Amino acid sequence: MNLPRIIIAGTHSGVGKTTLTLGITSALKKRGVNVQAFKAGPDYIDPAYHSQASGKLCGNLDSWLLSKDVLRELFARRAEPAEISIIEGVMGLYDGLKDSEQGSTAHLAKILNSPVILILNARSLSRSAAAIALGYKKFDPGVDIAGIILNNIASKRHYNYIKSAIERKTRIPVLGYLPGDHHLKISERHLGLVPVTEKKVIGAFRGILAKSVSANINLTKLLAIARQAKPLPHSREIIFKKELPKGRVTIAIAKDKAFHFYYQDNLDILKHLGAEIVTFSPLRDRELPKGIDGLYIGGGFPEVFASDLSKNASLRQSIYQKAKDGLPIYAECGGLMYLVKNLIDFQKRKFPMVGVFKCSVNMGNRLHRMGYVNVQVIKDNILSNQGDRNRAHLFHWSRLTNIPKNSTFAYRIIKDKDNLFYDGLVTKNVLASYAHLHFASNTDFAKNFINSCRINRDSAHFFSVR
């Protein structure tokens, strides 16, 4: 399958991958090119920027969480209508799980047969940039580094020196550069970039960035590289097979500035399997949508909006009562933080939350847990069954405190042989976990959730008409 595509990779984190991906996407869109964006790895913030720039929902591609066939299926599903797919990599090009290639940008490039455009930070470098580029080229000959873009260039003369050295030593074309300009940087905070939902000037920023990209990067050559990509290897249809949903259910999704960390594929899979999705805002809405059969509260920044979430007592009470009545509720990371009794923020201020679980969450001054983990299911829940083994990703600054002794956990988490802990608080039909799950990694997640919603709805209806 011929699908024009490139991967924007970096020599390391912070080199400017997101900025360049956003800029190239915006510049091509201005030319009338139909662009589909993707993000490698377990990320929620960058895809929102790329979705806004491309006008199409950005997909996540994670070569550790997902099989090769699933990755190719998810990629092809979104890429087919587009003229070019631009995939932002994760971390440095070869950085994967521990000392392996799994989960790395390079691994994804090989799975998708995609050419790579390498971003190199040229600040305070001249000819040495060629040594870096040569090392990346030779490290794994199976990775096709088809072009290089330089970031933080001081002047046109600076650019020409580095371009000449790299092309002479590596035979890789240098496609252009971005100048060292603080106006071309996106602001950050503790989980990475400030989400696009909170940035009021993103449109103006994209315009400035697109103008700089168009002036300084050879987009014609970049498009040619994408169109010369090798055919995508054939993949079996695993996720979006034609299935007849067994009766529709309605699932409410929390979506606003406080909660917006969702893999788009998770929502698409739920809809494919027969779920109608309705959204609501824990910040603004005073009650849950009417007639729902389930509730999904994803991650986000409840700690930033804790005061407003706490003040919305009527919605908190509505969710509490639904949980007590047996409504299936899945809460992930930020959602878990919302369902506990109290949230204690960075300034040690305490805010009452929903209170489904009688513990608290405390924000820390550094990351508490981060990275890929294996999950052993030790208790049946609305997504999985005891004995199941799954893969997940963790990234959180908070920790649970004041956990009652009678609390029940669904998961035993294994990060490595010396790092074992429990996660996934369970009560009735509620599952709240720090672990982020990709529903394409195990089709039973969405099927079990929908089935739990259907069973609870039908049983409630049965008792109401007796």
User: Who contacts 240 (Cβ-Cβ below 8 Å, separation ≥6)?
Assistant: 73, 77, 268, 269, 272
| Count, residues in the chain | 466
Distance between CA 124 and CA 161 in Å, rounded?
13
Catalytic one of 58, 333, 359, 453: 333
Distance between CA 404 and CA 32 in Å, rounded?
58
What number of CA atoms fall less than 13 Å from residue 426's CA on the CB side?
Answer: 20
Local structure of 382: helix, strand or coil = coil
Integer CA distances (angstroms), 455 to 14, 102, 215, 271, 414, in order: 47, 38, 58, 18, 32
Strands (E), 304-367: 329-332, 340-344, 350-352, 357-363
CB burial string 168-189: b at 16+ within 10 A, e below: eebebbbbbbbbbeeebebeee
Q: Are 326 and 295 in contact (CB under 8 A)?
A: no
Residue 333 annotated in active site:
yes
Q: How many helices (H) and strands (E) in the chain?
A: 13, 24
Distance between CA 446 and CA 33 in Å, rounded?
34
Integer CA distances (angstroms), 305 to 22, 196, 198, 280, 351, in order: 27, 16, 12, 16, 10
End-to-end CA distance of the chain: 56
Distance between CA 244 and CA 72 in Å, rounded?
23
| Residues annotated as catalytic (active site), given as ranges | 333
